[in-house]
Amino acid sequence: SSGINAEYGVPCSQYKAKNKYYWRMYTDKSWKIFLIAGILFLTYTWINLRWQGWYGTELEPRCVVPSEEVEDMRDLGRKTRTVLEKHGLRFILGFGSLWGALRIGDILPWDIDIDLLVMVDRGADIGSIVHNVIRDMKEEGLIVYYRDWIGIVQAYSPVYHSQLDISIWCDYYGTGTMHRCTGIEPWAFWVHHRKKYAFPAHLVQPPLPSLSFINESWPVPHGGIELQKIHYPNDWWKVSKPKGC
């Protein structure tokens, strides 16, 4: 006797057969779902690790930037510094500009922009900070945009279209690690960002050391090249020039 299932009132054999059918149907679908999810996750991780970012410069790399353009870039840096200091913002030289300060005390001969990192407190009203900085930079006669995707303020001089980038950083999670806290890219490609951009907060704790840059003393991170080892993990020990230089 197969017996009767008390809950559904059907023979147990029929109940087991239906269960087996539904279980088979479920497992047939679930492994496909897990497979697709796994492929998507691996693809997302692969893109993260290979992502280089896109920063939209309109300038072509050159071995030596003409002196009048370099001076224009210096003027752009000075005007931006005036605005940042007016708002009491903590900032440092970063990326190629930090290399310039470390190596020659000025803009590298082939560098086409100035890079500044601005540190803000966790929970600060970043929207207001960005708005006020852009407003005052425009009052200095500069052309300024906020790039939503990358979360960077980009400024240009009106004469030679020299470029300056401001990225905004904070200890977002309160864990002693600085993250870029504006834009979509740092969140969409968080694996890449944490691996190649995030850095220990103690490198930018005040008081900051300084180095000569564009004939002035500019704040830089602690530890000399320690920040560059994070941002240039594959070639921090060598001078990397544009191709053909």
pLDDT digits (tens, 9 = 90+) for 103-135: 999 999 999 999 999 999 988 999 999 999 999
How many residues in the chain? 245
b/e for 94-119, b at 16 or more Cβ within 10 A?
bbbbbbbbeeeebbbeebbbbbbbbb
Q: Is the pLDDT of residue 238 over 60?
A: yes
Q: Pull the structure tokens for residue 201.
A: 């907060």
Q: Which residue has the higher pLDDT, 40 or 243?
A: 243
pLDDT per residue as tens digits for the range 9-29: 545 555 555 566 555 655 666
CB 93 within 8 A of CB 219: yes
Q: What is the pLDDT of residue 234?
A: 87
Q: Is the pLDDT of residue 172 over 80?
A: yes
Could you tell me the pLDDT band of residue 1, with boundaries at 50, 70 and 90? very low
Q: Is the pLDDT of residue 180 over 70?
A: yes
pTM for this predicted structure: 0.80
- Closest of 170, 4, 164 to residue 90, by C-alpha: 170
Half-sphere exposure of 241 (CA within 13 A, CB side): 10
Q: What is the pLDDT of residue 36?
A: 72
Q: What is the pLDDT of residue 245?
A: 86
State the helix-helix crossing angle for 67-86 and 126-139, rounded to 10 degrees. Answer: 130
pLDDT per residue as tens digits for the range 212-227: 999 999 999 999 999 9
Could you tell me the pLDDT band of residue 42, with boundaries at 50, 70 and 90? low
Compute the distance between CA of residue 115 and CA of residue 77 in angstroms, rounded to an integer. 9
- Closest of 177, 157, 182, 176 to residue 58, by C-alpha: 157
Q: What is the pLDDT of residue 243?
A: 83
pLDDT per residue as tens digits for the range 48-88: 555 454 444 445 678 999 999 999 999 999 999 999 999 99
